[in-house]
């Protein structure tokens, strides 16, 4: 099979950049400036992270007031706030802090406003309006009720029921769920029990999705879609097992659901092969295709920290170039017509070169309907519009939260901030990107290096310990 050449991808990315520039509205430009300010001034990122975290955790206004003043003194007043907001903060520092019961609610409101393009309000009618707007523009919405890694069964139950309720809403037709958000007892020593209970819960969620069909853009009745997000490496095996076991049940033979592959893991290829083999058998037995969303992976910091604390090998590929190379390597496999037919593909990336490679590969292989392009709400909202003009199927990942549960949004926001400011990440270099400028050259060379490596990237997992094969330590020295 012919390959897509790197020079074609670079040309595609150049055209895309030009079209993206024409599509950017003045509001979106302001949003981009805000991110650019965070990239250029690391203290502002610290400011925002600390403020978001503490303002959602400290309930007492007097205590929060004290912390807010300390944080402003430490990091200064970031220039991503509007002129009027900066004036208000100065006023607060000059004397407004003497009235915490007035100042703190205003402060929290303003902070929430700063993030309202990234985290959508779950309250009606705000959510209704947002979803209706996207529907009108033929842009799919994957609603993600924020919250992950629950600490107790009560909270887990609440989140689980929340997913079931969301599937009853007429305007929500696609949701993403996280196993760690609906089940608080994931323990490797109770693997079989965890799997059994999670298969039961996921079965109920799929059933609910089937009982509440919706009318799609082509006026056809369709089951609602449920995607299983991928999180930490430690839960990867369990997540695939639960997915496959649930969908092996006869009652879900005609139900299409989705899962994720993270290409920052060398395990991506074996994960892909496992899913595609399962999907092939299922379709051969008269069942429906499944779907995989390809992502690079968002828990880089977490995986590195946990590995170093435990003295384990980090499961993630060591460089960004290798991660990009692995993404293209998996695209080469996933976008083969015989594979995409049974395991549809979601290309989830904001990187023009990654999107360009996938687009050209689809064109070359004659793949249209079985691929969607997926992006995160609020990161670069003009890009989905450009993709729609190119007649691509678009799905926006839409995190939603109610004001009183904003704490649930903090870890999501911090991951997005990391992504927007990571030294080698596309978005970090994308604000004010000019053709043939320094940033463009950096991104282009990063792509060319990854392209050169895509057929030789490591696909063997780094964590290989099998405790069944090692004898336990019996004596302590
Ligand atoms: C619709 C959608 C859904 C998503 N769902 C999930 C999900 O379920 N699970 C999940 O984990 N992520 C998910 N993500 C996030 C995704 O994994 C990426 O982090 C994000 O999209 C950035 O990738 P990119 O191609 O847009 O940008 P790029 O800038 O090209 O890639 C950034 C990524 O490269 C990798 N990277 C950067 N620096 C290094 C380094 N030094 N060493 C090794 N790797 C490095 C990291 O994975 C980083 O996130 C989702 C993203 C989207 C758009």
Residue closest to 268 by CA, chosen among 3, 465, 460, 452: 460
Cα(325) to centroid(ligand 1), Å: 13
- Compute the distance between CA of residue 355 and CA of residue 123 in angstroms, rounded to an integer: 33
Q: Which atom of ligand 1 is nearest to the CA of 418?
A: 49
Ligand 1 centre from 91 Cα, in Å? 40
Q: Which residues have C-beta atoms less than 6 Å from ligand 1?
A: 229-230, 260, 262, 264, 295-300, 316-317, 319-320, 323, 348-351, 354, 374-376, 397, 419, 422, 424-426
- List the chain pLDDT tens, one digit each, 477 residues: 668 999 999 999 999 999 999 999 998 888 888 888 877 888 888 998 899 889 988 989 999 999 999 999 999 999 888 899 999 999 999 999 999 999 999 988 888 888 888 999 999 999 999 999 999 999 999 999 986 666 799 989 999 999 999 999 999 999 999 999 999 999 989 999 999 999 999 999 999 999 999 999 999 999 999 999 999 999 999 999 999 999 999 999 999 999 999 999 999 999 999 999 999 999 999 999 999 999 999 999 999 999 999 999 999 999 999 999 999 999 999 999 999 999 999 999 999 999 999 999 999 999 999 999 999 998 889 999 999 999 999 999 999 998 888 888 888 888 888 888 889 999 999 888 999 899 999 999 999 999 999 999 999 999 988 878 877 666 655
Q: Ligand 1 test: best mutation among 296, 330, 371, 419, most atoms within 8 Å of CB? A: 296
DSSP secondary structure letter of residue 198: H
Residue from 258, 298, 322 whose mutation best tests the ligand 1 pocket (most atoms within 8 A of CB): 298
The pLDDT, as a whole number, for residue 56 is: 86
Burial code of 34-62, b = ≥16 C-beta within 10 A, e = fewer?
Answer: bbbbbbebeebbbbbbbbbebbbebeebe
Please report which residue ranges of 216-299 form alpha helices under DSSP H.
236-247, 268-284
Q: Of all atoms in ligand 1, which is nearest to the CA of residue 374?
A: 1
What is the predicted pLDDT for the residue at 466?
81
Which pLDDT belongs to residue 149?
62
Best of 425, 431, 444, 454 for a ligand 1 pocket test (most atoms within 8 Å of beta carbon): 425
Closest CA to 138 of 410, 427, 444, 393: 393
Nearest CA to ligand 1 atom 21: 349
Structure tokens that stand for 302 in this block: 């977490």
Domain 120-453 class in CATH: alpha beta
How many Å lie between the centroid of ligand 1 and the Cα of residue 417? 12
Q: Are 427 and 420 in contact (CB under 8 A)?
A: yes
pLDDT for 465: 82
Taking the centre of ligand 1 as the mean of its atom positions, its distance from the CA of residue 213, in whole angstroms, is: 31
pLDDT the model gives residue 1: 60
What is the chain's length?
477
Taking the CA of residue 229 as reference, the ligand 1 atom at the shortest distance is: 8
Token output for 148: 């992950």
DSSP string for 390-438? TT--EEEEEEEE-GGGTHHHHHHHHHHHHHHH-TT-HHHHHTT--TTSH
- CA atoms 67, 69, 71, 74: torsion sign: negative
For residue 115, the model assigns a pLDDT of: 87
Query: Residue ranges per domain, the chain?
Result: 42-78+81-114, 120-453
* DSSP 8-state assignment for residue 224: P
How remote is the CA of residue 305 from the centroid of ligand 1, in Å? 17
Residue 161 and residue 205: Cα distance in Å, rounded?
9
Pairing of strands 214-215, 258-262: unpaired
CB 101 within 8 A of CB 111: no
Given the CA of residue 428, which atom of ligand 1 is nearest to it? 29
Nearest residue by C-alpha to atom 24 in ligand 1 = 349
Report the C-alpha gap between 202 and 443 in whole angstroms.
Answer: 40
Single out the residue of 292, 175, 193, 199 nearest to residue 252, CA to CA.
Answer: 199
Structure tokens of 53? 């975290």
For β-strands 221-222 and 290-295, DSSP reports them as unpaired
| Centroid of ligand 1 to alpha carbon of 131 (angstroms) | 25
CA angle 313, 346, 284 (to 5 degrees): 100
pLDDT for res 475 = 61
Q: How far apart are CA 236 and CA 94, in angstroms?
A: 51
Q: Per-residue DSSP letters for 361-378?
A: HHHHHT--TTEEEEEETT
Confidence at residue 473, expressed as pLDDT on a 0 to 100 scale = 63
Among residues 427, 374, 420, 371, the alpha carbon closest in space to that of 396 is found at 374
Query: From ligand 1's centre to the CA of 140, what distance in Å?
Result: 20
pLDDT for 117 equals 87
pLDDT of residue 290: 98
Residue 91: other Cβ atoms inside 10 A: 12
First-residue to last-residue Cα distance in the chain:
59
Contact criterion met (CB below 8 Å) for 65 and 51: no
User: Which atom in ligand 1 lies closest to the alpha carbon of residue 317?
Assistant: 43
């Amino acid at each position: 099979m012919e390959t897509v050449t790197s020079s074609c991808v670079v040309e595609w990315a150049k055209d895309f950049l030009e079209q993206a520039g024409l599509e950017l509205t003045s509001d979106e430009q302001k949003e981009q400036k805000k991110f650019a300010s965070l990239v250029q001034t690391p203290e502002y990122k610290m400011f925002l992270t600390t403020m978001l975290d503490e303002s959602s955790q400290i309930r007492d206004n007097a205590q929060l007031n004290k912390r807010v003043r300390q944080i402003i003194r430490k990091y200064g007043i970031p220039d991503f706030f509007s002129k009027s907001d900066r004036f208000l903060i100065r006023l607060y520092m000059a004397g407004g802090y003497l009235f915490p019961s007035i100042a703190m609610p205003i402060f929290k409101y303003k902070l929430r406003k700063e993030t309202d393009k990234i985290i959508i309000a779950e309250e009606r009618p705000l959510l209704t309006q947002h979803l209706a707007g996207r529907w009108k523009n033929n842009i799919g919405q994957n609603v993600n009720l924020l919250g992950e890694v629950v600490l107790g069964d009560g909270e887990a139950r609440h989140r689980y029921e929340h997913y079931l309720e969301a599937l009853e809403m007429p305007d929500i037709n696609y949701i993403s769920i996280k196993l760690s958000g609906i089940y608080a007892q994931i323990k490797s020593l109770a693997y079989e029990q965890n799997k059994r209970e999670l298969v039961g819960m996921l079965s109920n969620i799929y059933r609910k999705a089937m009982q509440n069909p919706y009318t799609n853009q082509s006026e056809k009745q369709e089951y609602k879609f449920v995607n299983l997000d991928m999180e930490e490496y430690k839960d990867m095996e369990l997540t695939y097992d639960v997915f496959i076991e649930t969908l092996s049940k006869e009652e879900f033979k005609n139900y299409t659901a989705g899962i994720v592959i993270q290409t920052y893991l060398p395990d991506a290829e074996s994960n892909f092969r496992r899913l595609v083999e399962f999907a092939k058998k299922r379709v051969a037995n008269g069942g429906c295709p499944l779907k995989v969303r390809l992502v690079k992976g968002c828990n880089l910091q977490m995986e590195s920290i946990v590995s170093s604390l435990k003295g384990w090998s980090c499961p993630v590929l060591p460089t960004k170039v290798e991660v990009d190379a692995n993404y293209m390597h998996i695209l080469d496999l996933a976008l083969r017509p015989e594979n995409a037919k049974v395991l549809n593909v979601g290309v989830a990336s904001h990187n023009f070169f990654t999107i360009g490679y996938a687009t050209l590969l689809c064109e070359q292989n004659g793949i249209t309907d079985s691929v969607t392009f997926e992006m995160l709400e609020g990161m670069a909202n003009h890009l989905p519009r450009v993709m729609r003009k190119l007649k691509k199927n678009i799905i926006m990942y839409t995190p939603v939260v109610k004001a009183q549960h904003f704490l649930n949004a903090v870890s999501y926001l911090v991951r997005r901030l990391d992504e927007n400011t990571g030294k080698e990440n596309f978005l970090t270099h994308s604000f004010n990107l000019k053709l043939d400028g320094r940033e463009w050259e950096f991104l282009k060379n990063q792509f060319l290096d990854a392209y050169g490596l895509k057929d030789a990237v490591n696909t063997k997992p780094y964590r290989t310990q099998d405790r069944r094969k090692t004898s336990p330590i019996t004596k302590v020295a």
